[in-house]
Structure 1
Amino acid sequence: MKDLLGMMSKAKEMQSKLQALQEEIALLEETGQSGGGLVKVTLSGKSEMRSLKIDPSLFKEDDVEVLEDLILAAHNDAKAKVEAAMQEKSRELTAGLPIPPGMKLPF
C-alpha cells in the first residue's frame, strides 16, 4: 500500500512538473538563420513564427527564389533548435524515471 501511495505522490509531482515544463516551453524562443545570417527566423516553443529579419542586400528582383529558400532554411533551423531545447528540458525533467524508450514528452 505504501508503494501505491508513493507512486501516486510521484505521479502528481510529475504532472505538476510537466505542466511547468509546458509553460516554460511556451515561453521559449529560438532563432534560426540561413545564408550566413542574411535571413533570421525566430520561433516560439510552439513553433509559431515570432519574427523574420531579412538583410536588405537580398532585395533584388532576380533573387526571389534564393530569398524564399533562405527563409525556409532559417525557419527549419529555428524549429530544429526549439525541438532540441524541448527534448533537453524533457530529459532533465525525467532524469532517473523508468520511461519506455521512444516515449516523447511532453505528450
Structure 2
Amino acid sequence: MIKGLGGIGDMAKMMKAAKEMQDKMTQVQEDLNRITVTGESGAGLVKATCTAKGELTALDIDPSIFVPTEKEVVEDLILAAIKEAQRAAEDRMQSEMARVTEGLGLPAGFKSPF
C-alpha cells in the first residue's frame, strides 16, 4: 500500500491485476480462434474440424461412403463427426480457460462469461 493514500494503493494493485487478466483473456480468445480440433466417425471415414470455439471449418468425407442406398448412414456419420469435433472444441476451450484462470481462486467448474 502506498503510504498516506489509505486503500488507494491496494485499489491500484487490484486494477493492474484486473487489466492483466483482461489482457490474458483477450489473448486466449484469439488463440481459441486459431486452435483446431478434429472429430471422426466411421473409423475415420468422416472427419470434421472445428476451431476451439466450436466453429466448423472443414469436413472431410471419404468418397467410398457415397452409396445412394446408404444416405441415412452417411448423414449419421457426418453428424457424429461434427458432434465429436464440437465436444473436443468445448474440452479444449475449457482447458485453455483453466490454464489462464488457475490461481485466481475461482470456484471449481467456473464458467467464464467470455
TM-score normalised by length of structure 1: 0.92
Deviates further, 92-101 or 19-28:
92-101
1:60 and 2:67 aligned: yes
Backbone CA RMSD of aligned residues: 1.3
1:48 and 2:55 aligned: yes
Query: Which structure is larger by alpha-carbon Rg, 1 or 2?
Result: 2
Q: Following TM superposition, by how much is the alpha carbon of 1:45 offset from its aligned partner in structure 2, in angstroms?
A: 2.7
1:37 is paired with a residue whose SS is coil
The one-letter amino acid of 1:31's match is T
| Number of equivalent positions | 107
Question: Taking every aligned residue pair, what percent have the same amino acid on both sides?
Answer: 46
Structure 1 residue runs of 5 or longer lacking an equivalent are none
Counterpart CA distance in 2 for 1:92 and 1:16 is: 14
1:99 and 2:95 aligned: no
Task: Identify, as 1 or 2, the structure richer in helix.
Answer: 1
Counterpart CA distance in 1 for 2:93 and 2:113 is: 8
Dislocated runs of 4+, deviation >4 Å: none
CA-to-partner distance for each residue in 1:34-86, whole Å, 9 max, x for gaps? 01101000112332221111112101011100000000000010001111111
Check the 8 A contact 1:17/1:93 in 2, yes or no: yes
Question: Corresponding residue for 1:6?
Answer: 13
TM-score normalised by length of structure 2: 0.87
